[in-house]
A and B are shown apart, each in its own frame.
Chain A
Amino acid sequence: MDSLVTVSCLKHIYPDTTEIHMCGLDFVVNRGERVAILGGNGSGKTTLLYHVLGLLAPDEGRVSVFGVNPSVQYNAIRERIGVLLQTVDEQILSPTVWDDISFSPRNYGYKKEEIETMVGQVMSELGIQHLRDKICHYLSGGEKRKVALAGALVLRPELLILDEPFEGLDSRSRAELVTLLNTQNREGMTIVMSTHDLNLVASFADRVYVLAKGRGVVTAGTPAEIFMQADALRASNIDPPLLTELFLKLREHGVTVNVPTLVDQAVNDLVRIIKTGE
């Protein structure tokens, strides 16, 4: 498979002497995948993403993005990467919505007509055309997030990186964002996301990496494989999804049942159990 991102045995020392060691499994993102990074507070999720973005250089270990070391050659790959950071207010740099969405294309030297087209398209996809001339700090939290996302998507990046994108969103907004991301992925975009939300991981990710404080990547696999590893999740300060815990407990009580990751699967299993009496 064509791997876009590879991170091996990372060690980073911050200026205040805090050390981050991530020498577990390698972190690999293949083209076209939707990857979720799970981990408790302080496990290194943001540190990992910052290394992928070239904002931090490892003191030990190897980071490769599109075949280059991003901390040295980020300029060579930056147009291929879109970013949505955790604190949206810090991602929005320009005073108006149009200014901010057009920030990257303007700075990369795109022509005015091209910029108009690109910005118009992405605003239309996200349903924010009406916000074009609005001043960013008057937008609601959800609108700011859409503007920041538009800024990340405007150049149609091959790789989209999101740091806890669902924080502070209500359930409807979360569902909208997942739908949007899945649409982008179907059109070829590779997506990497850090999150605490296991329920969303089930409906979104192809592959999940679990980080633990001081140990890096402790396990990796599909959502179904990861959710079965309840002990590993708890060791990383993550509670398994309620659905998983319920069905694992049913198994402990001798009920023959799969462990579903989605509610629909769970309903089918329960209906079968109730109807067959098993």
Chain B
Amino acid sequence: MIDVARIDHWAASGTGFFHRASVISKMLFLLFVVAAAVLARSPYPLMAGYFGILLVAVLARLPWTRMVMLSLYAVVFALLYGISLRGGWWLFALLIFKAITPSLAMLTLIVSTPYPKIFSFISAALPEMLAAGLFMTYRTLFILLELMDNFVAAIRLRGGFSPGSLYKNSSNISKGLGMLLVKAVERASRLYAVMAVRGYNGSMAQQGGGGLHREDYLPLGAGSLVLMLAILWR
């Protein structure tokens, strides 16, 4: 899994103009780029879009080198799919840029926008149970990741991991995972008590994305440009 803690930290601690742009403008930016990837029939506009977004990331002082590396994960399936289609270089180029351009746009969103703001925006369109579940998952994820890290450290310190011993390593990891699940369920029952005592009645966090900001011209402009290129270059 992508290093969620690091992404979360980048999003929460940045102060550049992309960080200051509103959630709604950045979500629209993502939507435009995804639409461009869907509609594109040539790799060239998506290639231009990829490098354009990269330029924005550099200017906004986002962690662009890491973002480029993470965006390339999307190449794997694109290649597999291309192999299955038995296509030529054109098809491969198209599939790769269809994969990495929206991937880079997503990364631009998540490294510049804290997850609570993204979820607040999405949750306005979801039933309360799903919205609350989303917030609760986010809240719990880091706690469980830390718990799992502690289990793995304990297993390692007590000699539970041996290079090459798949059976032993899997067996010990299973115990760690089993304990993780038991702890997760116990935590759920305590959270139930807390929600009861604190009077939960359908509102876990603020919903909605707030209004538009002055800095929104950049994400909106960048996204619109990529989409227009994809439409015009058909």
A and B found bound together:
yes
Interface residues of A, Cβ cutoff 8 Å to B? 50, 53-55, 74, 78-79, 81, 83, 85, 87, 89-96, 98-99, 102-104, 106-109, 134-138, 151
**17 A-B pairs whose Cβ atoms sit less than 8 Å apart in the complex:** A54-B196, A55-B193, A74-B196, A78-B199, A90-B190, A91-B198, A93-B194, A94-B139, A95-B139, A99-B206, A102-B206, A104-B199, A106-B203, A109-B201, A135-B8, A136-B139, A137-B142
Interface size classification for chain B: 20 to 34
Min distance, Cβ B77 to any Cβ of chain A, angstroms: 31
Min distance, Cβ B9 to any Cβ of chain A, angstroms: 8
Interface of B is mostly: helix
Interface residues of B, Cβ cutoff 8 Å to A? 8-9, 12, 114-116, 119, 135-136, 138-139, 142-143, 187, 190-191, 193-206
A85: chain B residues within 8 A (beta carbon): 194
Min distance, Cβ B133 to any Cβ of chain A, angstroms: 12
Say yes or no: B135 contacts A95, CB within 8 Å: yes
Our pick among A93, A98, A134 for the contact of B198 (Cβ within 8 Å) is A93
Our pick among A53, A135, A138 for the contact of B197 (Cβ within 8 Å) is A53
In Å, the complex CA distance between A78 and B205 comes to 20
Pairs A-B, 5 closest by C-beta atoms: A95-B116, A107-B201, A99-B205, A106-B203, A94-B205
A90-B191 in contact given A95-B139, A96-B205, A137-B142 (Cβ < 8 Å): yes
B136: chain A residues within 8 A (beta carbon): 93
A55: chain B residues within 8 A (beta carbon): 193, 196-197
A-B contact count (CB 8 A): 79
B119: chain A residues within 8 A (beta carbon): 95
In Å, the complex CA distance between A106 and B135 comes to 16
Say yes or no: B205 contacts A83, CB within 8 Å: no
Say yes or no: B196 contacts A95, CB within 8 Å: no
In Å, the complex CA distance between A53 and B136 comes to 23
B135: chain A residues within 8 A (beta carbon): 94-95
Min distance, Cβ B124 to any Cβ of chain A, angstroms: 14
Residue of A with least CB distance to B143: A89
In Å, the complex CA distance between A90 and B199 comes to 15
Min distance, Cβ B116 to any Cβ of chain A, angstroms: 4
In Å, the complex CA distance between A137 and B197 comes to 21
Min distance, Cβ A133 to any Cβ of chain B, angstroms: 9
**Residue of B193, B195, B198 ringed by the most chain A CB atoms within 10 A:** B198
A74: chain B residues within 8 A (beta carbon): 196
